[in-house]
Amino acid sequence: MSIALQRFSNLIAEIHTAGTEPDRWDGVVREITDTFDAMHGFLVIADPAHGGVEVNSAGAITAAEVRKQLDAGAVRVNRLPVGATATGEELFGCGNGGGTAAVRANGLANSFVARLTGDLPSSWLCLTMPDHGAIIDQPGGPVLLRVLVPHLRAALHTRAKLVGMARERAFALAALTKAHHGIMIVTADTALVFANAAAERIARESDGLTVDSFGHLRAHSAQVQDRLRQLIDEATDSEFGGGNVAVARPSGKRSLILRISALDTHSGNGLWPRAALVAITDPDHEPTPDPAVLHELYGLTDAEVSVALCVLRGDGLPAVADELSVSVYTARTHLQHIFAKTKTHRQAELVRLLSTTAISAQ
């Protein structure tokens, strides 16, 4: 088997391109299949984290035939050394095109096979030739396949890294989106890169803080905007830069508290714009702990939960007693029981614990 240098170079380039552009794998499998004059070929790309596989195929092969070949070949392929190639007769012991009827029926008796990854399940390539004569007549086939294997392995490694990074990014974004406090990522010139659900709500309300029509973070007060811009500039210039700023709200609600921090040590290295992390606390949007959570975590009774929630609102014992229609003595007794169960000693400690519980149980 021979292949023109230009065609070989193009094939190698396509293989590596497919590592970063998954929709190119079908074309790669088709080109390899044509290069070997195979009837059909398929590439199994395994996802060991979930135990599944993705199959890219080319040539005269149906989905049902692919499934048969996967079932027949996967176990044997997994016994090959990583990066090794074999013919069907070497893999299944079917010399001279023989072998079991099942193997012949599945079309693997006349195939070139390569194991590409060491995980289980493995990724592997299979090229099925028209007959056993095609295997014999192409002594260069195994050689060419061995040349392609390192490139296929490198491309699959790149793909796996990108898939892993995409998965990590999705998990990170999901976690940030669920965070109670507002989270924004902004560039050095205050352009918004990312905002979680809480930050989007705050920006939509446009009460002291908003995102303008050009996508830049803006404070209602010019003085606060200057301070915000200064802190963002410091945070994007140094990993130790940043600080806090209070953003007054025209509605009269309590000020938003912004904490500006350096995002990472790589910001501004030329790969992407310098960026900073903006954490936003809305004091008028703090959560109240779910009574069921207080039951579960601290074993509070219904009456004790009611007292705890009144204390969290800042009510004194007389107001608590009045709301619950009990005596101040009874309200104080409930509070002592709450202290004991939550291992707190003062109302201030209890309020901090309840506030933390409310946020962590969101």
Sequential DSSP letters for 281-331: E-GGG-----HHHHHHHH---HHHHHHHHHHHTT--HHHHHHHHT--HHHH
What pLDDT score does 105 carry? 47
Contact predicate 280/198, CB 8 Å: yes
Q: Which helix (H) or strand (E) holds 190?
A: none
What pLDDT score does 139 carry? 64
What pLDDT score does 362 carry? 61
In the chain, list all ranges with CATH 1.10.10.10. 291-360
CATH no., domain 5-166: 3.30.450.80
- Can you identify the CATH homologous superfamily of domain 179-285? PAS domain (3.30.450.20)
In the chain, list all ranges with CATH 3.30.450.80. 5-166
Q: Which helix (H) or strand (E) holds 110?
A: none
The partner residues of 114 in beta bridges, in order of sequence, read 85, 125
Secondary structure (3-state) at 109? coil
- Neighbour count for residue 360 (Cβ, 10 Å): 12
Contact predicate 88/108, CB 8 Å: yes
What pLDDT score does 96 carry? 47
The partner residues of 216 in beta bridges, in order of sequence, read 191
pLDDT in tens, 164-211: 888 888 888 888 887 888 999 999 999 999 999 999 999 999 999 999
Please state, in angstroms and rounded to a whole number, the distance separating the CA atoms of residues 223 and 264. Answer: 27
* Sheet of 111-115, strands arranged across: 52-59, 40-47, 124-128, 111-115, 85-87
Q: Which two tokens stand for residue 237?
A: 């210039």
CATH no., domain 291-360: 1.10.10.10
**Tens place of pLDDT for every residue, the chain, 362 residues?**
567 788 889 999 999 999 999 899 999 999 999 988 888 899 999 887 777 888 888 987 776 777 777 777 788 888 899 999 988 878 776 544 444 554 554 567 788 899 999 988 899 999 988 776 666 666 667 888 899 999 999 999 999 999 888 888 888 888 888 788 899 999 999 999 999 999 999 999 999 999 999 999 999 999 999 999 999 999 988 878 899 999 999 999 999 999 999 986 554 555 567 889 999 999 888 778 889 999 999 999 999 999 999 998 888 889 889 988 999 999 999 999 999 999 999 998 998 898 888 776 66
Nearest residue to 276 via CA among 197, 211, 184, 195: 184
Q: Is the pTM of this model over 0.95?
A: no
What pLDDT score does 108 carry? 73
In the chain, list all ranges with CATH 3.30.450.20. 179-285
What pLDDT score does 135 carry? 67
Q: How many Cα atoms are found within 13 Å in the side-chain-facing hemisphere of 160?
A: 19
